[in-house]
Amino acid sequence: MAEENQRKASETEKQVDFGYRAVPESEKEEDVKEVFESVAKRYDLMNDVLSLGLHRLWKSTCVSLSGAAEGQKVLDIASGTCDMAIRFGEAVGKSGEVWATDINHEMIKEGVKRLKAVGCKAHVAICDCEALPFEDNFFDIAVVSFGLRNMTHKDRALKEMMRVVRPGGRVVVLEFSRCWKIFKPFYDLYSFKLMPWLGQKIAGDAESYRYLAESIRMHPDQQTLAKIMEDVGLDRVTWKNMTFGVCALHIGLKP
Ligand SMILES: C[S@@+](CC[C@H](N)C(=O)[O-])C[C@H]1O[C@@H](n2cnc3c(N)ncnc32)[C@H](O)[C@@H]1O
């Protein structure tokens, strides 16, 4: 009976995308969690292999265009293995403050190892981006790098990021985006054939890398994401394409 009720409830519940699959809204977070628990240990290696090292360039461009300066406070959302937290730690220096946050214990566990290895003093917190445990107007910058497309409610996540940033502060989104049409056939072949194959060979998990390819296609394109950012109240939203639009950096100001 309980199972039957649960089945009926999930049939009537709003559906959201999990890659190309529609799943009940309440289940997406758990599905995303499974993906990142599965890939956590090989996440950094896979990033280097799959992007041919390009993610390093995208991330360093993101830090320099974010305008992060000595002494500032930065919140890294969906920090995962803390790559961005480390980079922002260097940008804000010892007088600054960086918080690395993620919903997933396995990812952040790998991140803490990396923070220690490089001597980065970032604070760490496990939390859902859609309900951040920080006071209003606390940070100069809130950044999310390759995390937004996994969020169940992107608008809620962006609203929370804006809430914790001071007026005049920046919400920064680095994410896969819509690549140039001419590049698309090659990119599709690479994403749907080679990526899952490499995922299987290196991380023993083809399915998570299939989800990666699908979730990129389901993520809003450059213009749509800019509109979502404006709709939550961000001002002067701009974006910059990187590597033929494979990835884009959006920045909005809190009024
Ligand atoms: C692709 S990884 C990105 C990691 C890192 N930012 C980077 O650029 O390499 C996506 C991360 O988003 C996290 N995530 C997904 N949903 C989240 C949520 N609602 N709140 C916080 N983090 C979330 C996952 O746990 C995962 O660590």
Task: State residue 59's pLDDT score.
Answer: 98
Share of the chain residues as helix, strand and coil, in percent rounded to the nearest 5: 55, 20, 25
| Calpha distance 90→116 (Å, rounded) | 14
**Lowest model confidence (mean pLDDT) among 28-32, 133-137, 188-192:** 28-32
Cα-based torsion angle of the residue sequence 82, 232, 211, 205 in order, rounded to the nearest 10 degrees: 20
Number of residues in the chain: 255
Q: Please give the share of the chain, as a percent, with pLDDT higher than 90.
A: 91
Token pair 């290196």 is found at 202
Which whole number is the average pLDDT over 15-19? 93
For residue 94, the SS3 value is: coil
Distance from residue 76's CA to the centre of ligand 1 (Å): 10
Which whole number is the average pLDDT over 170-198? 95
Distance from residue 85's CA to the centre of ligand 1 (Å): 12
CB-side exposure of 132: number of CA atoms within 13 Å?
27
Query: Whole-prediction pTM value?
Result: 0.94
Instruction: State which of 32, 60, 110, 128 you would mutate to test the pocket of ligand 1, scoring each by most atoms of that ligand within 8 A of its C-beta.
Output: 32
Per-residue pLDDT for 6 more than 90? Answer: no
Evaluate whether 121 touches 112 at the Cβ level (below 8 Å). no
Distance from residue 93's CA to the centre of ligand 1 (Å): 24
Task: State residue 195's pLDDT score.
Answer: 93
Ligand 1 near 130 CB (within 6 A) = yes
Which whole number is the average pLDDT over 113-134? 97
Per-residue pLDDT reduced to its tens digit, 186-244: 999 999 999 999 999 988 999 999 999 999 999 999 999 999 999 999 999 999 999 99
Distance from residue 32's CA to the centre of ligand 1 (Å): 9
Ligand 1 near 32 CB (within 6 A) = yes
Instruction: State which of 81, 103, 208, 247 you would mutate to test the pocket of ligand 1, scoring each by most atoms of that ligand within 8 A of its C-beta.
Output: 103
Token pair 């290895």 is found at 117
Which run of H or E residues covers position 239?
strand 235-242
Hey, what are 53's tokens?
């090292």
| DSSP assignment letter at 128 | -
- Residue 3 pLDDT class (50, 70, 90 cuts): low
Task: State residue 9's pLDDT score.
Answer: 59
For residue 200, the SS3 value is: helix
Which whole number is the average pLDDT over 177-186? 95
Task: State residue 13's pLDDT score.
Answer: 87
DSSP states of 136-170 as a string?
Answer: TT-EEEEEEES-GGG-S-HHHHHHHHHHHEEEEEE
Residue with the nearest Cα to atom 15 of ligand 1? 150
Distance from residue 78's CA to the centre of ligand 1 (Å): 3
- Residue 117 pLDDT class (50, 70, 90 cuts): very high
Per-residue pLDDT for 146 more than 70? Answer: yes
Task: State residue 76's pLDDT score.
Answer: 98
Amino acid letter for position 232: V
